[in-house]
Amino acid sequence: MLALRSILFALLVPGTVTVIIPWLIAYQGRAANLAHWTPWRYVGLLPLTVGVAILFWCVWDFAVVGHGTLAPIDPPTQLVVRGPYRYVRNPMYVGVVLILLGEAALFESVALLIYGAIFFLAVHCFVVLYEEPTLYRQFGESYDGYRRRVRRWWPRVRG
């Protein structure tokens, strides 16, 4: 049942943010023209692929390690600090932003680039104002220690 909920929420939330809305922005109902590949389109494949991989890895870790889903109404019951979470506290959001950057390059769309920036700003506010205080209340000192060791968006460079 947890696997089904994880798949459902992964399709619903990131699917809407990374597939439906970008399609509406980039094409506004017109058919996609991907026949002519410019260098930017090839460049867009890298962040798109990395973002999808990070997103799937995080959904898997939330289900297997955290015993929950990415949805705020069905969150993990265990603090997940392995996999991509060893490097940044919000790899799922980083993955989504990478997908959006890849799509902006792939579809050569400034509007998608702006959408990605607005999405990141909204997520940053959500993380700072809601998610981090909620995780601290739920996991206490273990989350606080994790927060001190691992950066929010960008991994530490270890010397």
Q: How confident is the model at residue 5 (pLDDT cuts 50, 70, 90)?
A: low
Residue 154 lies in a domain: no
DSSP state of 128: I
* CB of 101 closer than 8 Å to CB of 47: yes
Residue 155 lies in a domain: no
* CB of 12 closer than 8 Å to CB of 72: no
User: What are the tens digits of pLDDT across the range 65-109?
Assistant: 887 777 767 778 888 888 999 999 999 999 999 999 999 999 888
Structure tokens at 9: 């929420």
Q: How confident is the model at residue 60 (pLDDT cuts 50, 70, 90)?
A: confident
Domain of residue 8: give its range. Answer: 2-149
Please tell me the distance from the alpha carbon of residue 132 to that of residue 8, in angstroms, as a whole number.
24
Residue 59 lies in a domain: yes
User: Which residues pair with residue 151 across a beta bridge?
Assistant: 88
Residue 30 lies in a domain: yes
Residue 159 lies in a domain: no
* Other CB atoms within 10 A of residue 144 CB: 13
Residue 144 lies in a domain: yes
Backbone angles phi, psi at 68, to 5 degrees: -160, -170
Number of domains in the chain: 1
Indicate the pTM of the whole model: 0.87
Residue 157 lies in a domain: no
Average pLDDT of the segment spanning 28-33: 56
